[in-house]
Amino acid sequence: MTLDSCRYDTFVSARTPNLGSVGMLNRAIAPGNFTYSSHSAMFMGFTPGMADRQEPFLNPKYGKIFKMASPAFSAGDDRHFAHLEGRNVVDGLRRAGCVAVGTGAVSWFDPKAPTSQTLTRDFDHFFYPGDGHSLARQLDFIDGMLRRYEGRKLFVFLNVGETHVPYYHAGAPWDRAHNPCLPFGEDNDAEECRRRQRLCLEHVDGALAMLLATFRGANTLVCADHGDAWGEDGLWEHGIHHRAVLEVPLLFQLTRSPAPGGATEPCGARAAMSRFRRLARRVRRRFEP
């Protein structure tokens, strides 16, 4: 799961009990400074990390969560979590027996755009809602895929757009047309950026409660692909090399490798749907008169 453009300090300041339940919050450096470059790197196994930590997964240079096979690859290197073969992580997980389901909110994930094919073409099913504030529709799509592939192993990718400029979520009490963070803008507002992104992240956290609970116990990674500059050194937004843009939150929980022979049922749609139904029953009992 990628929280598009979400700054690390935003995550620290926000109330995120559901996202926080995934694992320890780490201050990481993104592999790219805009959506396309960062996701391209992550889909090759270079997830956000900390170069000063000689620990696998926290530092992908030391040990990757997803290690793609290559001529220089050593099969005996056990520092990596999952050894995959294929064009990228998505293709590798498909070869490992997973149905690859993805949904991206920002325009870099528009499957109709030739430039997006690198990011979307290897998914079995991909949904692009057409705007950056349709998390509810994205979650409906994922729910439908869980039902369709009950009993199968799933790899689910979700790119969240509400935390991307102009920092807006459905029903927010501010004008979506007003963007407080424009590159070279003359009417930008750092405090308004901070406030909006925090409120959007808290809205997202609430919306993700059921999905995160459904996959509790499965391999889960939550991060941002990059952050935004809010006036630091006179810079705004992303697509530039600056610490404000590169510093992102990283949380994960890993149980068993999804590579062949290592998959366990918590990675599958059957276990996910079973948890989803139990949670749905609890919600109905809570609100029934």
Q: Is the pLDDT of residue 284 over 50?
A: no
Please report how the helices 269-287 and 135-148 are oriented relative to each other, as an axis angle in degrees rounded to 10: 120
pLDDT over 50 at 267, yes or no: no
Query: What DSSP character marks residue 152?
Result: S
Percentage of residues of the chain with pLDDT beyond 70: 87
H-type alpha helices, 6-110: 8-13, 17-20, 35-42, 89-95
260: phi then psi, degrees, rounded to nearest 5: -50, 130
- Average pLDDT of 67-73? 75
Integer Cα distance of 34 and 122 in angstroms? 21
Collapse the DSSP code of 229 into the 3-class scheme (helix H, G, I; strand E, B; otherwise coil) and give the result: strand
- At 250, list the tokens: 């990283």
**Residue 261 pLDDT > 50:** no
Q: How confident is the model at residue 70 (pLDDT cuts 50, 70, 90)?
A: confident
Residue 74's alpha-carbon distances to 69, 260, 263, in angstroms, are 8, 17, 21
Over residues 28-61, the pLDDT tens digits come to 999 999 999 999 999 999 999 999 999 999 999 9
Give the closest residue to 29 by CA, choosing from 49, 59, 2: 49
Q: What is the mean pLDDT of residues 122-136?
A: 97
The encoded tokens of residue 8 equal 């690390």
Residue 96 has pLDDT above 70, yes or no: yes
The three-point CA angle 44-145-278 to 5° equals 115
Q: What is the pLDDT of residue 69?
A: 85
Distances in whole angstroms, Cα of residue 81 to Cα of each of 123, 124, 256, 257: 21, 23, 8, 6
Q: Give per-residue pLDDT as tens, 142-165.
A: 999 999 999 999 999 999 999 999
| 3-state SS assignment for residue 93 | helix
User: Sorting pLDDT into bands at 50, 70 and 90, what band is 256?
Assistant: confident
Query: At residue 139, does pLDDT exceed 80?
Result: yes
Tokens of 186: 């003359």
Spell out the alpha helix ranges (H) of the chain.
8-13, 17-20, 35-42, 89-95, 117-120, 135-148, 190-207, 209-214, 243-246, 269-287
| pLDDT of residue 115 exceeding 80 | yes
What is the reported pLDDT for 77?
63
Triad 232, 238, 243: Cα angle to 5°: 50
Q: Assess whether pLDDT exceeds 70 at residue 266.
A: no
- List, for residues 187-226, the tens digit of each pLDDT value: 999 999 999 999 999 999 999 999 999 999 899 999 999 9
Question: What is the DSSP secondary structure assignment for residue 187, as one 8-state letter?
Answer: S
pLDDT of residue 238: 98
When pLDDT is cut at 50, 70 and 90, the band that residue 80 belongs to is very high
* Least reliable range by pLDDT among 8-12, 74-78, 193-197: 74-78
- Asked if 217 contacts 227 with a C-beta cutoff of 8 angstroms, the reply is no
| pLDDT confidence band for 72 (50 / 70 / 90) | low
pLDDT at 285: 41
CATH topology of domain 2-43+88-287: Alkaline Phosphatase, subunit A (3.40.720)
pLDDT of residue 76: 56
pTM (predicted TM-score): 0.89
